[in-house]
Amino acid sequence: MRRRLLAAYLAFLALVILSATAGGVFLFRDFSSDDPIDAVANRNAYDVLGWELRHLPQKWLYKLATVFDGGRSRADEDALLSRYFELTADIRSLERDGSDADRLAESRRERDAIENDVEETLESRISDFLRDEGFVMNPPLFSDIDLFFPPLDFELDRPPKVLAVSPRDRIELDRNYLLDPGLGTEAVAAVESETEESGVSALVVNTGGVATYPSVIPELASYRSMVETVIHEWLHQYLVFYPLGRSYFSGRETRTLNETVANLAGDELAEMFVERYGSPVPPPPPRQTSGEFDFRTEMRALRLRVDELLAEGRIQEAERLMEEKRDEFEAQGVYIRRINQAYFAFFGFYADTPSSIDPIGPKLVRLRDRAGSVVEFVRLARGLTSESDLDRQLAGV
């Protein structure tokens, strides 16, 4: 009981601080703007405040309702997770095929009925794992106790889409907006087309998750992907209490540092978690490509060539090349809906990915190698706010 009350207090404290940090970005968009791109985004905006008001009370009402439950055995938890991800795979298949509406509806009903229990199970397991790894803090009123903070809290749902906007003559994320996750293929194309009437490059992308509180985690993700995303978004929340997180919106370098730290640490921690607890479902088969095709190398080469063409003012040639390469990648089994300047601008913030040529990525990998452990890597990185800070860290200054 005391543990649940303490968790409730910590969650409230985390919510207040996280909302204060992100509120100006997510909750108070200027809907009166006469900018044509703002107008397109505002018509299709994701209602973060409405989502919070719907889900946060439900989350804690569920926790209070189950506070006196005795809990499940490890075997029962494993069976619950196994069933959830079996249903998830079934739903993905049925939605893709567009057949057997009755079976699809029944699978959704059964999945929805166990969703809260699955969230609670994973929250508990991942929290225990991260605490054991050394992710503890000393929040107000409990400064003499090592506590796992902020409390891990997520909701399985459809995360918002993002509209990314870049100039056509260079790769640079000029602005981005959270959009309604329910936008269909035609609506997405319309948003991109209308945005590009302003002479920019635009792309609507699906997000892997959003670090609201609770975090929004894709409900149809695979088990390994879900665990990684939960940890990734929690790391963003954790970093809010340090310079790296508080400076997230101060500039490109800090955002790139933040996203790349969460990517590198999230991937490694997810792998460690799965090794500890196992997987309730078999891992998905590896993507089939020809033996000579190296996506990372090909994507990096494309990014470098596009930068060269844009620097020379050959915009249309660069755009044709990106379209051609997109088709080549698809022929190799790698499907990307659109590749354009906005694609590279948005994904470039993840400096450990093939679409980025930012030196911050390799530098953070070096920092991780020197750190000795993933928790020490995060501790070293959380004080950074610029690439020059990272350089000094690597130089031992």
Per-residue model confidence as pLDDT tens for the chain (397 residues): 444 555 555 555 555 555 544 443 443 344 456 799 999 999 999 988 887 777 766 666 666 656 556 678 999 999 999 999 999 999 999 998 887 889 999 999 999 999 999 999 999 999 999 999 999 876 666 666 778 888 899 999 999 999 999 999 999 999 999 999 999 999 999 999 999 999 999 999 999 999 888 899 999 999 999 999 999 999 999 999 999 999 998 889 999 999 999 999 999 999 999 999 999 888 777 666 556 789 999 999 999 999 999 999 999 999 999 999 999 999 999 999 999 999 999 999 999 999 899 999 999 999 999 999 999 999 999 999 999 999 999 998 5
Burial label for 372, CB within 10 Å (0-12, 13-18, 19+), is exposed
Sheet of strand 161-167: strand arrangement: 175-179, 161-167, 200-206
- Pick the closest to residue 135 from 15, 22, 273, 274 (CA basis): 273
C-alpha–C-alpha distance, residues 30 and 333, integer Å: 41
CA 258 to chain centre: 12
pTM passes above 0.75: yes
C-alpha–C-alpha distance, residues 94 and 350, integer Å: 32
Angle at 44 between CA 35 and CA 303, to 5 degrees: 75
194 three-class SS? helix
CB 154 within 8 A of CB 215: yes
Q: Within 13 A of 24's CA, how many CA atoms are on the CB side?
A: 6
